[in-house]
């Protein structure tokens, strides 16, 4: 019978990664993802086995697969789940929390849950509606809330490293959006590793070179249950639109997404795009409420948001 | 859960509870394009088995289609 064969063993392949000209069977794909992750961790000097790592989990395929891979590789990784109070008619936050909690329980891993509505008295969609910043832009407010809480949990728990499950499609879509608008400030922030600074843990993205279909395949083939639905607020978002545009290009030009992103990383390395200034001088002020570093006098953006100033 | 029904029946693609009928035998790649989704962002599973895009679908196959895209800003 004719079928695509695994490049390593000749058995029936379950996935072909056209950008690498590589087809693999299930067992070899499940080996390949951790091997490559380890390679990226070393290549970009993300972290070592002596460091305490916090992974931000959403209940989706990327973050749960990342947690699984880092755990299998022997890293010391705890999780944080941020309950945002998103319902969208599908009880989105509650369902995704369940997946995160079940994953942690099944592997006896530590998971800290931060419940935004319980702590701050409003869901993220409500916070977005209550401010001019968030009108019709729930994703922007959501990003601010998640960044603040992840940083706080990392700081309070003495984690040296905060990792997120961003995949190559996420990074390429963000890069595409930042490039066509020449958002130089955003381009400066977009790296594989954002160095630690006073009050900030180091931030890294170990899955940043995997296509989204590869992280989904890893979750499916590993039997990791995850929430299939997109966040209800992401539907119609620019990031999904950019992903679609890039996938259309990828269909006819295998590898174009990867080359777009890797070319950007090389340009950063050459100094074409200066890295984000995280010098202590820039973050000299501390927020009087949360004590997190801030670039402005008075409350930080998050505390202004939750205090509805 | 999903698999081969019987000869002479069309191919059924199921995406988010919606069913699409493919009348003629074809590849996974072509079937995904016929229902209007990108093979770059969707998987096909038959009997729970992940299929490569060149895999041939046969009459009576019932194929589950899974979108791999997640969205929103700042995970």
Q: Grade residue A137 by pLDDT with cuts at 50, 70 and 90.
A: confident
pLDDT of residue B75: 36
Angle between helices A61-72 and A26-43 (to 10 degrees): 80
CB A242 within 8 A of CB B72: no
Which one is predicted more confidently, A1 or A76? A76
Are B70 and A212 in contact (CB < 8 Å)? yes
Mean pLDDT, all residues of chain A: 92
Q: In angstroms, what separates the C-alpha of A18 from chain B's closest C-alpha?
A: 10
Residue A239 structure tokens: 């990031």
Q: In angstroms, what separates the C-alpha of A304 from chain B's closest C-alpha?
A: 19
Are B53 and A16 in contact (CB < 8 Å)? yes
Among A146, A216, A243, whose Cβ lies nearest the Cβ of B74? A146
Chain A: residue whose CA lies nearest to B65: A228
Q: Grade residue A217 by pLDDT with cuts at 50, 70 and 90.
A: very high
CA distance A237 to A231: 10
pLDDT of residue A71: 98
Residue A260 structure tokens: 């777009």
CA distance A233 to A253: 30
Phi, psi of B24 (to 5 degrees): -110, 150
Q: What is the mean pLDDT of residues A206-228?
A: 96
Q: Grade residue B70 by pLDDT with cuts at 50, 70 and 90.
A: low
Number of A/B CB contacts below 8 angstroms equals 103
- CA distances, A296 to each of A46, A186, A190, A203, A276 (Å): 29, 18, 22, 22, 17
pLDDT of residue B72: 42
pLDDT of residue A284: 72
CB A17 within 8 A of CB B50: no
Q: In angstroms, what separates the C-alpha of B66 from chain A's closest C-alpha?
A: 8
List of chain A residues whose C-beta atoms are within 8 Å of the C-beta of residue B74: 139, 142-144, 146-147
Alpha helices for chain B (secondary structure H): 28-34
Q: Grade residue A278 by pLDDT with cuts at 50, 70 and 90.
A: low
pLDDT above 90 coverage of chain A, percent: 74
CA distance A52 to B10: 54
Q: Grade residue A38 by pLDDT with cuts at 50, 70 and 90.
A: very high
Mean pLDDT, all residues of chain B: 85
* B39: CB partners within 8 A, 6+ apart: A251, B28, B29, B32, B33, B53
Q: In angstroms, what separates the C-alpha of A140 from chain B's closest C-alpha?
A: 7
Q: What is the mean pLDDT of residues A68-86?
A: 96
Q: Grade residue A131 by pLDDT with cuts at 50, 70 and 90.
A: confident
Q: Work out the end-to-end distance of chain A between its first and last CA atoms, rounded to an integer number of angstroms.
A: 67
Are B75 and A212 in contact (CB < 8 Å)? no
Among A3, A56, A60, whose Cβ lies nearest the Cβ of B70? A60
pLDDT of residue A280: 62
Q: Grade residue B2 by pLDDT with cuts at 50, 70 and 90.
A: low
Are B50 and A56 in contact (CB < 8 Å)? no
List of chain B residues whose C-beta atoms are within 8 Å of the C-beta of residue A2: 56
Residue B33 structure tokens: 């394009």
Are A16 and B54 in contact (CB < 8 Å)? yes
Which one is predicted more confidently, A226 or A135? A226
pLDDT of residue A273: 80
Is the pLDDT reported for residue B1 higher than 50?
Answer: no
* A37: CB partners within 8 A, 6+ apart: A66, A69, A70, A73, A206, A207
The ipTM value here is 0.84
* Largest Cα span, chain B: 48
- The tens digit of pLDDT for each residue in B14-68 reads 998 899 999 889 999 999 999 999 999 999 999 999 999 999 999 999 999 999 9
Are B75 and A4 in contact (CB < 8 Å)? no
List of chain A residues whose C-beta atoms are within 8 Å of the C-beta of residue B46: none
Is the pLDDT reported for residue A73 higher than 50?
Answer: yes
Half-sphere exposure of A207 (CA within 13 A, CB side): 28
CA distance A182 to A90: 36
List of chain A residues whose C-beta atoms are within 8 Å of the C-beta of residue B43: 213, 216-217, 220
The structure's pTM equals: 0.92
Q: Grade residue A1 by pLDDT with cuts at 50, 70 and 90.
A: low
Question: Hey, how many other C-beta atoms are within 10 angstroms of the C-beta on A271?
Answer: 8
Chain B: residue whose CA lies nearest to A248: B38
- Determine the distance from the C-alpha atom of residue A267 to the mean position of all C-alpha atoms in its chain, rounded to a whole number: 22
Sheet strands (E) in chain A: 15-17, 22-24, 53-57, 77-83, 111-115, 161-163, 193-194, 202-204, 285-286, 293-294
Sheet strands (E) in A60-173: 77-83, 111-115, 161-163
């Amino acid at each position: 019978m004719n079928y695509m064969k695994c490049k390593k063993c000749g058995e029936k392949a379950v996935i072909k990664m056209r950008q690498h000209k590589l087809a693999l069977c299930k067992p070899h794909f499940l080996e390949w993802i951790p091997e490559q992750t380890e390679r990226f961790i070393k290549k970009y000097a993300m972290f070592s086995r002596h460091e305490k790592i916090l992974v931000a989990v959403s209940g989706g395929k990327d973050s749960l697969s990342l947690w699984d891979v880092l755990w299998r590789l022997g890293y010391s990784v705890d999780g944080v789940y941020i309950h945002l109070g998103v319902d969208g008619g599908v009880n989105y936050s509650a369902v995704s929390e369940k997946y995160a909690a079940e994953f942690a329980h099944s592997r006896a891993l530590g998971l800290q849950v931060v419940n935004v509505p319980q702590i701050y008295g409003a869901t993220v969609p409500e916070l977005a509606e209550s401010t001019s910043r968030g009108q019709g832009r729930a994703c922007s407010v959501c990003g601010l809330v998640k960044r603040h809480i992840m940083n706080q949990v990392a700081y309070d728990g003495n984690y040296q490293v905060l990792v997120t499950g961003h995949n190559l499609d996420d990074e390429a879509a963000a890069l595409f959006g930042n490039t066509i608008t020449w958002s130089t400030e955003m381009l400066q922030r977009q790296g594989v590793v954002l160095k630690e600074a006073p009050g900030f843990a180091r931030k890294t993205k170990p899955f940043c070179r995997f296509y989204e279909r590869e992280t989904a395949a890893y979750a499916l083939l590993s039997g990791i249950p995850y929430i299939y639905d997109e966040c209800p607020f992401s539907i119609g978002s620019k990031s999904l639109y950019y992903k679609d545009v890039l996938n259309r290009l990828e269909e006819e030009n295998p590898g174009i997404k990867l080359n777009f992103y890797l070319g950007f990383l090389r340009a950063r390395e050459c100094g074409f795009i200066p890295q984000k200034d995280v010098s202590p001088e820039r973050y000299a002020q501390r927020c009087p409420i949360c004590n997190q570093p801030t670039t402005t006098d008075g409350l930080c953006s998050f505390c202004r948001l939750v205090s509805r100033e | 859960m999903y698999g081969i029904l019987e000869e002479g029946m069309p191919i059924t693609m199921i995406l988010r509870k919606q069913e699409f009928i493919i009348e003629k035998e074809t590849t996974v790649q072509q079937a995904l394009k016929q229902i209007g989704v990108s093979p770059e962002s969707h998987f096909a599973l038959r009997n729970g088995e992940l299929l490569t895009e060149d895999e041939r679908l046969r009459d009576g196959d019932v194929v589950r289609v899974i979108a791999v895209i997640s969205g929103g800003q700042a995970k």
